[in-house]
């Protein structure tokens, strides 16, 4: 399965100049735990960083920094890892695991943001697949009993 078949295409984005307080309010109103920071290049949104709720708590709130005086650009993660929409899910899981990240922006061949994939989404997919396997085993037993009777 390709990342493009599974990623969430409704990504909440911000630019670097957004204040952390504005970002926190946006996260709350959109019910998300991350914001993808983008730069506009030739009319395309290109991801340049990510800001998570954990970044805000650990790096800013715990340090008692005034949130209305700090921008997203000051606090975002700059070492952005992203995946191409044509990458496989298994390859994506390995990348996430190797880097210890829970969320990855998904880009097309030109580097334009097309979606996001999160560990929560992947767990949901795997749980659905496991449920299907359990159902398969149950149906196999029912079929076997029916054939014997």
Domain tally for the chain?
1
Q: Is residue 148 part of a domain?
A: no
CA atoms of 58 and 65, how far apart (whole Å): 11
For the segment 54-59, the average pLDDT, to the nearest whole number, is 89
Compute the half-sphere exposure of residue 1: CA atoms within 13 Å on the CB side of its CA. 12
Phi, psi for 63 (deg, rounded to 5): -95, 0
Note the pTM of the prediction, 2 decimals: 0.83
pLDDT in tens, 69-113: 889 999 987 789 999 999 999 999 999 999 999 999 999 999 999
What domain range includes position 100? 3-118
Indicate the pLDDT class of residue 143, thresholds 50, 70 and 90: low
Domain assignment present for residue 123? The answer is no
- Band of the pLDDT at 19, cuts 50, 70, 90? very high
User: What's the rounded Cα separation, in Å, for the pair 15 and 17?
Assistant: 6
Query: 131 in a domain, yes or no?
Result: no
pLDDT at 14 over 70: yes
Residue 28 belongs to a domain with what CATH number? 3.10.580.10
Quick one: which of 121, 108, 117, 148 has its CA closest to 50? 117
CA gyration radius, the chain: 20
Give the integer Cα–Cα distance in Å for 65 and 2: 41
Residue 107 in domain: yes
Dist. CA 8–CA 65, nearest whole Å: 32
| 62 band by pLDDT with thresholds 50, 70 and 90 | confident
Residue 132 lies in a domain: no
Residue 14 and residue 135: Cα distance in Å, rounded?
A: 43
- The chain-wide mean pLDDT, for the chain, equals 90
pLDDT band at 127; cut points 50, 70, 90: confident
Quick check: is 17 in a domain? yes
- In 2-149, which residue ranges form alpha helices assigned H by DSSP? 3-6, 20-30, 53-55, 72-75, 89-99, 119-148
Is position 40 within any domain?
yes
Distance CA 27, CA 12 (A): 8
- Is residue 66 one of the residues assigned to a domain? yes
CA angle 72, 78, 83 (to 5 degrees): 115
Q: What per-residue confidence (pLDDT) applies to 51?
A: 95
d(CA 99, CA 81): 8
């Amino acid at each position: 399965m390709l990342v493009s078949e599974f990623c969430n295409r409704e990504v909440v984005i911000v630019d670097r100049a957004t204040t952390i307080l504005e970002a926190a309010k946006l996260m709350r109103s959109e019910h998300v735990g991350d914001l993808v920071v983008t730069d506009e290049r030739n009319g395309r949104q290109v991801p340049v960083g990510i800001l998570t709720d954990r970044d805000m708590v650990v790096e800013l709130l715990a340090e008692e920094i005034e949130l209305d005086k700090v921008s997203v650009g000051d606090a975002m993660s700059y070492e952005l890892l992203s995946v191409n929409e044509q990458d496989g899910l298994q390859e994506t899981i390995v990348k996430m695991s190797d880097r210890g990240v829970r969320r990855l922006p998904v880009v097309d061949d030109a580097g334009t943001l097309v979606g996001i994939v999160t560990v929560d989404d992947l767990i949901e997919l795997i749980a659905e697949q496991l449920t299907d396997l359990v159902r398969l085993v149950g149906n196999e037993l029912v079929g076997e009993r029916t054939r014997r009777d």
